[in-house]
Amino acid sequence: MIGMLDTFPRHWMAEEEKEKDWLELPAELIHLIAKKLPDLLDFIRFRAVCKTWRSSTLLSDPPYQLPWLLELSQTEYCPQGTLRPQQRFFSISSGETITIAFTNIKTALEKWIKGGVCSHYLAFSDDKIMSFFNPLTKDLFLLPPMRYFLYLGAPCMVWTGTAPIHDRSIVVLDRTDSLWNDNIAVGAFYDPYKSKWVYQFGQFNSSCYLKGMFFSTCARGPTKVFDAYSNELLHTVLPPDNELTDNPFDGNEVNELPRHFITLKQSFLVVSLGVILRVSWFHGWCAKGSLFNIYRLHYETADGTPFWVRIHDIGDQTLFLEEVNGFSMTARPSTGFREGCIYFIDPHNDEPYMHDILAGTVERMPCPFKRCTWFLPGL
Amino acid sequence: MITLISSDKRKFHVLEEVANQSLTIRDVIEDRRGRRRADRIILVTNINSKIPEKVIVYWLRHFLMPEEIAHASMSHKKAEKLKKWEAKFFDTDIDTLNDLILAADSLDIPSLFDGACEKVSDILKNRSAEEVGEISKIENEFTHEEEEEEIPSENAWVWRNEFA
């Protein structure tokens, strides 16, 4: 009889009935448990429990995080807001409000902030100096000055390295205000090798990056696919055939509204599990009347022309949408988010809403702030 | 059919297809394929005696719907049912979870491992470091400097909130 004894770790064979410590696990398993903690706050507390737990986890390797809500101030002239001396964040999974003081950092204050990803915000001052700013670590990365000032530029940041403005990163800033929908806008691509901006004129709005390709679209227009490194236009994908006539209101009595009340407000491009999704947001008379059509991009077709296919389910993914860009994440129930849902911010009042795709319902999310946006915490 | 023998000499007869969910066992079976019958007996002596039962129950539940698990096409009703069942399965004391994690780790059962780790992380979330220390009877063993300076200074925002 050949046993499997040899294959087991020694610590495990040690005793029969000795009184055990709670969680007497080897370091590599401690690390894996820490990786499952739903909130950054829990992770930092976890590291303060004991020496073994602290040494088994790295501050630079925090668990996968779902977004927090960032409180925006009420400023007349800025559609987004400024950082406050006491900036507040709200963690949905823990229900806690986190306050961070910025009294010592003059550079970060008085700046306008824009939606961001990868735990950094795009901050820009009145004199058009732009930087990426992480409010938790207070790291600030200055960007070189731009020839054109993108007044409403929301960043689609892509970096393959570990830090922004890393030698292998690409930063893309682009935006046409959805009000001027079909106007020509400037897209700015940051070339980290030459450390300068490359400009592209076209219709940009929502954008995303996948496998060396950069995708950009405007609300009703075609989606353009660029090679992210050479900036060359690879494809122009026409909008879904029936985007405007596909009826997202089928069998949905809650939102029985006259058709002409409902307009296609915005199209978001979102990377979800290695595919590109186009999320068409139909806005009714208020955010509660919102409905969404979701399309998936098929780009490995026989003749090489990508096209959109409508889907009715996003599986176990959760989508987060902000002003123009969105992201997709996997949410476990314990994180306070639900899978198969779209969480979006209504641009009229900057309030967070949740749309359950299968049930077809829209509800406002509990949030202590009047105006807010998503923020992905990171260390 | 293969036989698992636990530390207290209890025998568990399991269908090979079921036990295959453990990648370690699958490899052992693969290694010994075509050999004598006695080789289909596998010792798992270092697993706490009540754990094999739990593991086998888990295997059986998952074995009932293998394809659905492999594909995301599982119907929502079935997925809900399985989730409810898993929630109940993992709703157990911390010692059992501890043993399940160790068993899942060495037997290499990814879904069981993930499930148990998630449950532990759920228990830990929203608790202060002191609370966790108290529940877990873990001595923190930090030096004076670490406790007074290093920990509070990195990520000061967490601790400030704690006392706010």
Of the residues B147, B154, B155, B162, the best mutation for testing chain A's interface (the one with the most A CB atoms within 10 Å of its CB) is B155
Answer yes or no: do B44 and B74 share one domain: yes
The mean pLDDT values, 10 residues at a time, for chain A of 379 residues are 38 40 71 84 84 83 84 61 76 84 60 62 70 78 68 49 42 48 56 68 70 76 77 82 62 48 77 88 77 85 81 87 82 82 85 88 87 82
* Count of domains forming chain B: 2
Answer yes or no: do B22 and B42 share one domain: yes
Answer yes or no: do B113 and B134 share one domain: no
Residues on chain A touching B39 (C-beta within 8 angstroms):
1-2
Q: Which residues 124-163 of chain A have a CB within 8 Å of chain B?
A: 136
Question: Residue B39 belongs to a domain with what CATH number?
Answer: 3.30.710.10
Answer yes or no: do B30 and B100 share one domain: yes
To the nearest 10 degrees (0 to 180), the angle between helices B110-124 and B76-90 is: 60
Nearest CA to A292 among A353, A365, A373? A353
Task: Find the range with the poorest average confidence among A148-162, A342-356, B4-18, B38-52.
Answer: A148-162
Residues on chain A touching B123 (C-beta within 8 angstroms):
none
| Residue A275 backbone phi and psi in degrees, to 5 | -125, 160
pLDDT at A273: 85
Answer yes or no: do B21 and B40 share one domain: yes
Other Cβ atoms closer than 10 A to A214: 25
Answer yes or no: do B115 and B152 share one domain: no
| Beta-carbon separation of A49 and B129 below 8 A | yes
| Beta-carbon separation of B38 and A1 below 8 A | yes
Answer yes or no: do B116 and B134 share one domain: no
Answer yes or no: do B88 and B140 share one domain: no
Write out the two tokens for A253: 């009595």
pLDDT at A159: 44
Distance CA A50, CA A1 (A): 42
Answer yes or no: do B106 and B81 share one domain: yes
| Beta-carbon separation of B46 and A5 below 8 A | yes
Q: Is the pLDDT of residue B121 over 70?
A: yes
Q: Which residues 26-85 of chain A have a CB within 8 Å of chain B?
A: 29, 32-39, 41-42, 44-54, 59
Residues on chain A touching B128 (C-beta within 8 angstroms):
45
| Beta-carbon separation of B157 and A93 below 8 A | no
pLDDT at B74: 55
Answer yes or no: do B92 and B141 share one domain: no
Other Cβ atoms closer than 10 A to B52: 22
Range of the domain at B118: 2-124
Global pTM value: 0.77
Inter-residue contact B35 to B29 (CB < 8 Å): no
pLDDT at A19: 44
> How large is the average pLDDT for residues B131-156?
75
pLDDT at B14: 84
Of the residues B138, B142, B149, the best mutation for testing chain A's interface (the one with the most A CB atoms within 10 Å of its CB) is B138
Of the residues B23, B30, B45, B157, the best mutation for testing chain A's interface (the one with the most A CB atoms within 10 Å of its CB) is B157
Answer yes or no: do B141 and B83 share one domain: no
- For B152, nearest residue in chain A (alpha carbons): A48
Residues on chain A touching B139 (C-beta within 8 angstroms):
50
Residues on chain A touching B70 (C-beta within 8 angstroms):
none
pLDDT at A191: 65
Answer yes or no: do B152 and B84 share one domain: no
Distances in Å between the Cα of A171 and the Cα atoms of A131, A137, A164, A277 are: 11, 20, 8, 21
